[in-house]
Homo-oligomer: A and B are copies of this chain.
């Protein structure tokens, strides 16, 4: 079926930009701001996303819901949308695009499909869409082709089969690499600082691990502002690893590190992006 109206839950930094890009491609883009922050309201407005009020109105108007949230909210929003489908007697397409483990996605699929909806497993790789750049949405499940209708219209869609959980598996393994590497690098630099060898280690890295050093120097600046969002994702990754008989410890360790960064003075609003030396120095003292 051709998608005409897309609901974004919720229009935060990523969801708002995705909604804006889809809207510019000619889709009707709506949301429900019920219970959302003032920031989401502003983001919806800025990106031309229309607030339809409650979830019932949203389910009656939309052909497809894109759930783009912090991982901890994913199940609650799926449940609430399923309830609205049931009371509106209208089963629509629901794509969970959050950083959650395949097992969590399968639980959401049951919730949505038992209410008459059609569930799509989605996983986003990349940042918010902008001019000349589109994030990749991995999609799986029998209805993945519906999400694929959006490909080339502000986002790219890569389908990976009929099975619910596959798209999330790709996304979570990807996050295990990118965010796990950041956590590993930042934590060992903090260890070096606390052990009094930061300068020696940094010199050695610049000599023999220049790529890793350049990478972390490029990424440390925004870490304090995003770390809080990554905690739940790392915990979902850890549980996914354990579900396939692999150590989840890495990723519980990353969650712990991100919790520490998110709770540090660096994460206070209004703080300038720190350099690597500043960030490590301050985190080592915290």
Contact = CB atoms under 8 A, between A and B. Distances in A.
B247 A257 contact: yes
Contacts of A158: 200, 204
Nearest to A140: B197
A264 to B, nearest CB: 13
Interface string A178-191: 10110111011111
Interface string A135-176: 010100000000000000000001010010110011001101
B205 A177 contact: yes
A75 to B, nearest CB: 20
Interface stretch (A64-72, A112-120, A207-215): A207-215
A190 B176 CA distance: 12
A185 B178 CA distance: 10
Contacts of A246: 187, 190-191, 194, 257
Given A183-B250, A246-B190, A177 B102 contact: no
A interface majority secondary structure: helix
A184 B191 contact: no
Interface in A236-252: 240-241, 244-252
A107 interface: no
Contacts of A183: 250
A165 B125 CA distance: 42
Contacts of A138: 200
A178 B209 contact: yes
A247 B252 contact: yes
Nearest to A186: B246
A26 interface: no
A88 interface: no
A226 interface: no
A206 to B, nearest CB: 12
A249 B177 CA distance: 16
A202 B212 CA distance: 20
Contacts of A160: 197, 200
9 contacts: A102-B195, A169-B196, A173-B192, A174-B201, A176-B184, A176-B188, A191-B246, A249-B253, A249-B256
Interface of A: 102, 125-126, 136, 138, 158, 160, 163, 165-166, 169-170, 173-174, 176-178, 180-181, 183-185, 187-192, 194-197, 200-201, 204-205, 208-209, 211-212, 240-241, 244-254, 256-257
The 3 closest A-B pairs by CB, nearest first: A249-B253, A247-B253, A249-B249
